[in-house]
């Protein structure tokens, strides 16, 4: 049976206000984790951001939180190889995991990171959803499908966020969305809505804030 995927619509004013107020409370860096025993307590709901290197993950987190340098950005793919926890008020953790598919990192580092990621995804009871970022200019690639398989095996719901949607024309964006949906059909753990964003233009940011704020 084919799954039906739709584009998440911008929520109504009341729901957007819930999202705005949550993020207006401030977001702060808590800690970077390199092993499971360093994880903070599972005492609040958390959402995780994952994606290929240079997909625009740090820029999206910075746009969401209104903090230009909260998540570190770098021209070097795979620079961040820790799981970074940010507090969002007293209610949420935002979790930034290293970009996967980083070709420049030594193989032992990549393997160590993959083991940590698998342990985190499988063992974190407070993790509600993984937001999987996909560059709208390219659509879902093989390496994205691999992480989708990992998420499915870990029984973690994931939702695709397409980044850099302002960088391509509308017809190209539509083709990229269709390409991504075709890949998602093979992954039952996928949430059936896709969020379109541009960190630079601010598109989709209030929608994503609202999704995070109303999650239970």
The pairs formed by 153-157 with CB atoms below 8 angstroms and a separation of 24 or more are 154/118, 154/121, 154/122, 155/122, 155/189, 156/121, 156/127, 156/129, 156/130, 156/189, 157/128, 157/129, 157/130, 157/189, 157/190, 157/191
Q: Residue 138 pLDDT > 50, yes or no? A: yes
The pLDDT tens digits for 158-167 are: 999 999 999 9
* pLDDT 10s digits, 23-41: 998 899 999 998 899 999 9
Return the pLDDT at 190. 97
Q: Give the pLDDT confidence score for residue 116 in this predicted structure.
A: 87
Strand partners, 51: 133
Indicate whether 103 pLDDT > 60: no
- Residue 173's pLDDT is 97
Confidence (pTM)? 0.93
Q: What is the pLDDT of residue 89?
A: 87
Q: What are phi and psi of 100, to 5 degrees?
A: -90, 160
> Is 95's pLDDT higher than 60?
yes
Ranges of each domain in the chain: 6-213
Tell me, what's the pLDDT at 115? 85
Percent of the chain residues past pLDDT 70, beyond the cut: 92
| Architecture of the domain spanning 6-213 | 3-Layer(aba) Sandwich (3.40)
- For residue 80, is pLDDT > 70? no
User: Token pair of 48, please?
Assistant: 């995780």
Indicate the pLDDT class of residue 104, thresholds 50, 70 and 90. Answer: low
> Is the pLDDT assigned to residue 170 strictly greater than 50?
yes
Average confidence score pLDDT of the chain: 90
Averaged over 204-210, what is the pLDDT?
Answer: 98
Q: Determine the pLDDT at residue 108.
A: 82
CA distances, 136 to each of 9, 71, 118, 167, 197 (Å): 17, 21, 26, 8, 9
Which carries the bigger pLDDT value, residue 144 or residue 109? 144
Measuring CA to CA, how many Å separate 134 from each of 1, 108, 158, 193?
Answer: 24, 26, 12, 14
- Look at residue 76 and tell me whether its pLDDT is greater than 50: no
More confident residue, 37 or 73: 37
Q: What is the pLDDT of residue 78?
A: 47
Q: Is 129 exposed, middle or buried (0-12, 13-18, 19+ CB in 10 A)?
A: middle
């Amino acid at each position: 049976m084919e799954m039906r995927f739709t584009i998440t619509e911008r929520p109504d004013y009341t729901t957007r206000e819930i999202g705005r107020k949550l993020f207006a409370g401030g977001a702060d860096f808590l800690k970077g984790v390199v092993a499971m025993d360093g994880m903070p307590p599972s005492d609040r709901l958390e959402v995780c951001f994952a994606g290929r290197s240079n997909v625009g993950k740090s820029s999206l987190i910075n746009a969401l939180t209104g903090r230009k340098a909260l998540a570190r950005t770098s021209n070097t793919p795979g620079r961040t190889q820790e799981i970074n926890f940010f507090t969002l008020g007293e209610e949420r953790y935002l979790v930034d995991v290293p970009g996967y598919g980083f070709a420049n990192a030594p193989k032992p580092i990549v393997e160590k990171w993959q083991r940590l990621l698998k342990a985190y995804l499988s063992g974190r009871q407070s993790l509600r959803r993984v937001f999987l970022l996909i560059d709208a200019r390219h659509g879902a690639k093989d390496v994205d499908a691999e992480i989708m398989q990992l998420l499915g095996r870990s029984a973690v719901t994931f939702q695709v966020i397409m980044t850099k949607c302002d960088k391509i024309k509308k017809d190209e964006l539509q083709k990229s969305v269709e390409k991504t949906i075709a890949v998602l059909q093979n992954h039952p753990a996928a949430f059936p809505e896709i969020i379109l964003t541009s960190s630079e233009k601010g598109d989709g940011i209030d929608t994503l804030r609202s999704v995070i704020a109303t999650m239970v």
